[in-house]
Chain A
Amino acid sequence: MPVPLDEGISELVHDGDTVALEGFTHLIPVEAGHEIIRQGRRELTLVRMTPDIVYDRMIGAGCARKLVFSWGGNPGVGSLHRFRDAVGNGWPAPLEVEEHSHAGMANRYAAGASGLPFAVLRGYTGTDLRHPGIATVTCPFTGEELTAVPALNPDVTIVHAQRADRAGNVQLWGITGVQKEAVLAAHRAIATVEEIVDELDPVPGQVLLPGRLFAAVCAVPYGARPSYAHGYYIRDNAAYQQWDAISRDRQEFTRWLAENVHSGARSAEEGEGRR
């Protein structure tokens, strides 16, 4: 069941796909995003509640045609400059945006996971968040007008987790975000994990995603850095702060990408030193 990351991405992520890399500030599948950049995927519709620096990199590297999201910033730091450059100046390619609220996105995944065409929520009313992906529906019982948002069923969802066993059962815990719904909503799912073990020890608050949900499970130690993996390593706050300066300038960004992603410079040894 376990496959190398490059193999998993090359087989399961195709140009033009709708791809969701989820992880709510925790367990962000950063290294999977880097592999998508290395493999030169294009015209992707990138979906993510909080497109943070991994999507800034993917957008800046030219992977994306469209972004579906609810909050696009560098958490605790400021703006995503590659995202802003793509929206404002079309560099390196124009970026279409479709934006929702967190509640809207969470419910879109939940509808997708439930096999329903749309989700209902009390939200958006009175706001300027208005586009074809947001509609109203009348409650057949009370007559109340509610918001309807279409189900989200990504071609591929990628999540990062702490552990998997050899059969591909995936265990994650801590802040669990919307990963469960995003995996269940997807046509294909990939998990990258900190380690693959013979047996999974239960952990308080864990989410267990059975192996049958995944088309590929890949051992990628430190695969969430600079975000964090609860119980394994903490968030590299300095890297988020440094990203602000790196991403402001196109040349600086391009140089960073060549040195840190395209070169494949990331090594297990480097990761070990940070544990």
Chain B
Amino acid sequence: MSVAAARCLTSGTACFVGIGLPSTAANLARRTHAPDLWMIYESGTLGTAPSTLPLSIGDGVLADTADTVVSVPEIFNYWLQPGRIDVGFLGAAQIDKYANINTTVIGDYDAPSVRLPGAGGAPEIAASCREVVVIARQNPRTFVETVDFITSVGHGGGPESRQRLGLHGAGPSRVITDMGILEPDPETRELTLVSVHPGATTEQARDATGWDLATLPQPATTPVPTPEELTVLRSLTG
């Protein structure tokens, strides 16, 4: 999953990185095929190149290795909002077939069964980055027909939704899971299984999804990780 996500990133790209799996994938990309990946964390570190994976988005190693460190109002107002960031990299507690994301509550907002951390930087990352890559483990609890709370907008209610809302970025271009790769259908904007990871099947991916998952007639098989990718990944995650 981390390897497939890392491959979405190209050298020279400006990438807004969230902590956890997105951070692992971005750091893997920078150490393999994308040495000039320009990584940004919402704590204000621009162009950071940490020697170890940061435990939090404000880890000191991010500031030590950054091109520059800016304030939080600056990162959101001057860098993210005008569309200077190419790719936003987000996780999800729940995601629906239009790639709308919930990281706020499971259940009713006023009496939730699980209270999650909340929005953080995600709503504006999802709105303003030129494109968004989501990384999440695929299971029916996470991949749900309807998210309990829209924290960050994906493709809203379908075609033209983002345009109607006035969102400037193009929205989620890919969802990377532990089973495969999903992309929005060009017409319907519904997430469609386009690639299956080695060891997983289309049927497993459909079973792990809480709606009737669309698939390409012949989904691709995700290329296996190279020895170099695995070595670097293991060195990062210890």
CB contacts under 8 Å to B, within A118-147, are 121-129, 144-145
User: Is A127 a contact of B117 with CB atoms below 8 Å?
Assistant: no
Given A125-B127, A128-B149, decide whether A79 and B58 contact each other with a Cβ distance below 8 A: no
A18 at interface, CB cutoff 8 A:
no
User: Is B118 a contact of A70 with CB atoms below 8 Å?
Assistant: yes
Per a CB cutoff under 8 Å, which of A107, A178, A235 touches B55? A235
Binds B, one of A30-38, A95-103, A152-160, A254-262: A95-103
Binds A, one of B41-49, B178-186, B224-232: B41-49
CB contacts under 8 Å to A, within B57-113, are 57-60, 62-63, 68-69, 71-73, 76-77, 80-81, 104, 109, 112
B151 at interface, CB cutoff 8 A:
yes
B210 at interface, CB cutoff 8 A:
no
User: Is B57 a contact of A75 with CB atoms below 8 Å?
Assistant: yes
Give the residues in chain B near A76, CB-CB below 8 Å. 19, 54-56
User: Is A127 a contact of B81 with CB atoms below 8 Å?
Assistant: no
Q: Which DSSP category, helix, strand, loop or mixed, fits chain A's interface?
A: loop
A273 at interface, CB cutoff 8 A:
no
User: Is B72 a contact of A24 with CB atoms below 8 Å?
Assistant: yes
Chain B, Cβ-Cβ closest to A228 = B60
A26 at interface, CB cutoff 8 A:
yes
A109 at interface, CB cutoff 8 A:
yes
Chain B, Cβ-Cβ closest to A28 = B58
User: Is B81 a contact of A175 with CB atoms below 8 Å?
Assistant: no
User: Is A103 a contact of B43 with CB atoms below 8 Å?
Assistant: no
Per a CB cutoff under 8 Å, which of B19, B44, B59 touches A176? B44
Give the residues in chain A near B124, CB-CB below 8 Å. 101-103, 121-123
A246 at interface, CB cutoff 8 A:
no
B219 at interface, CB cutoff 8 A:
no
Taking the closest CB of chain B, its distance from the CB of A108, in whole angstroms, is: 10
* Interface footprint category on B: 35 or more
User: Is B166 a contact of A145 with CB atoms below 8 Å?
Assistant: yes
Chain A, Cβ-Cβ closest to B120 = A71
> Using an 8 Å CB-CB cutoff, how does the interface string of B117-129 with A read, 1 for contact, 0 for none?
1111111100110
User: Is A126 a contact of B73 with CB atoms below 8 Å?
Assistant: no
B156 at interface, CB cutoff 8 A:
yes
B142 at interface, CB cutoff 8 A:
no
B192 at interface, CB cutoff 8 A:
no
A72 at interface, CB cutoff 8 A:
yes
Binds B, one of A83-91, A161-169, A264-272: A83-91
Per a CB cutoff under 8 Å, which of A72, A126, A175, A237 touches B45? A175
How many Å lie between the Cα of A180 and that of B54 in the bound state? 25
How many Å lie between the Cα of A240 and that of B19 in the bound state? 15
Give the residues in chain A near B80, CB-CB below 8 Å. 103
User: Is A70 a contact of B120 with CB atoms below 8 Å?
Assistant: yes
Given A25-B56, A101-B120, A129-B123, decide whether A106 and B77 contact each other with a Cβ distance below 8 A: yes
Give the residues in chain A near B167, CB-CB below 8 Å. 125-126
Taking the closest CB of chain B, its distance from the CB of A266, in whole angstroms, is: 22
User: Is B77 a contact of A121 with CB atoms below 8 Å?
Assistant: yes
Taking the closest CB of chain B, its distance from the CB of A87, in whole angstroms, is: 5
Per a CB cutoff under 8 Å, which of A26, A70, A127 touches B58? A26
User: Is A75 a contact of B56 with CB atoms below 8 Å?
Assistant: yes
Chain A, Cβ-Cβ closest to B166 = A125
A-B CB contact pairs (8 Å), 6 listed? A25-B56, A75-B19, A79-B117, A99-B118, A101-B123, A122-B128
**Top-5 shortest CB links A-B:** A25-B58, A73-B117, A75-B56, A71-B120, A126-B153
